[in-house]
Amino acid sequence: MDRRMVINTIGPVWDGNEVWLITAGGAMFAAFPNWYATLFSGFYLALALILGALILRGVFFEFRSVYPSGRWRTNWDRVMFGACLINAVLWGVAVTNLLRGVPINEKMQYVGTFFDLLSPYTLVGGLTTLCVFTLHGALYLTMRTSGELVDRAWNIAKPVSIAALIVLVVLAIMTYLETDLFTSVAATVALFFSAAAMMVTVLFTYLKAKGKAFATSGLTIVFLVSAVFLGLFPRVMVSSLNPAWSLTIYNASSSAYTLKIMTIVALTLVPIVLAYQIWSYWVFRKRVTAKDVYY
């Protein structure tokens, strides 16, 4: 029953959220083809795992309840758990690799292996995104569910918030030691705000201030992502072999005309898509209760 309630909270919105990932990949291919080619060849196995996990998530929503068997549903629940775990960890591993640097030669080609992407720093990055995303999801459930499930979500959110704060601080320290992010004042400020937002999230979580905790948890993610790309700018991928071989927004981009067309299209269509998505969230804003569950 509780699992069905959790599924119903994200059922109306998950596909719209994943479309943004597809859009990002298409936009990267059109605007920064050299970045797209290097990233998707070098991170091929990691990105293939992420894509496979995302596909399994979509299949889960469609297939979990088509057969009236508890074992059938339990097996699909395990698939969903594994897919979400893979995604949460590998996103952190991928993003921290962008900061740390990967072996890219003078021809913008990745010359390493999958295991070159794994290091203590990148694994801490994966653990950070796992904890932060788990906390954000638990706080989301406190606002969208009802009854005993809300209490269970709070019981998960409290210890996870402490764990997320600890690994985020560890990640910040390792980022100082492993990367040049702190040479950017803007990136340093964004990373500080991310840690501060997480501290406030911990406080709001223990006070059970659901809306405020969810908002500050979201700000933690926004500031963390901002810190990464502000620290990279104007680079998009750092070469660990030679800094001069790093990919930047200049040597990895398409022609000026292509970028101009894409900007016009984005300014025209993105606001429409955002408005529709905001409307869909508003329509399905009501809490899910046991009465809404139907097998």
- Per-residue pLDDT tens digits for 160-195: 999 999 999 999 999 999 999 999 999 999 999 999
Is pLDDT above 80 for 290?
no
* Domain extent at residue 116: 2-292
CB 220 within 8 A of CB 199: no
Residue 129 has what pLDDT?
A: 96
Going by C-alpha positions, the residue among 225, 226, 133, 216 that lies closest to residue 186 is 226
Residue 234: asked if its preceding bond is cis (omega within 30°), the reply is: yes
Angle at 131 between CA 154 and CA 279, to 5 degrees: 70
Using 50, 70 and 90 to split pLDDT, how confident is the model at 293?
A: low
Number of domains in the chain: 1
Q: Residue 231, Cβ neighbours under 10 Å: how many?
A: 23
Q: H or E stretch including 248?
A: strand 247-248
What was the pLDDT predicted at 57?
87
Question: Which pLDDT value is given to residue 173?
Answer: 95
The owner of tokens 């990949």 is 25
Of 77-81, 168-172, 258-262, 277-281, the least confident = 277-281
- Residue range 5-13: average pLDDT? 80
Answer for the pair 260, 252: CB distance below 8 angstroms, yes or no.
no
Provide the terminal-to-terminal Cα distance of the chain, rounded to the nearest Å.
9
- Picking from 26, 32, 24, the residue whose alpha carbon sits closest to that of residue 249 is 32
Could you give the 3-state DSSP secondary structure of residue 110? strand
Which residues 6+ apart lie within 8 Å of 217 measured at CB?
132, 135, 136, 139, 197, 198, 201
| Count of Cβ atoms closer than 10 Å to residue 132 Cβ | 27
Cβ partners under 8 Å of residue 246, min gap 6:
101, 104, 235, 237, 238, 239
The per-residue b/e assignment along 207-225, b for 16 or more CB within 10 angstroms, e otherwise, is eebbebbbbbbebbbebbe
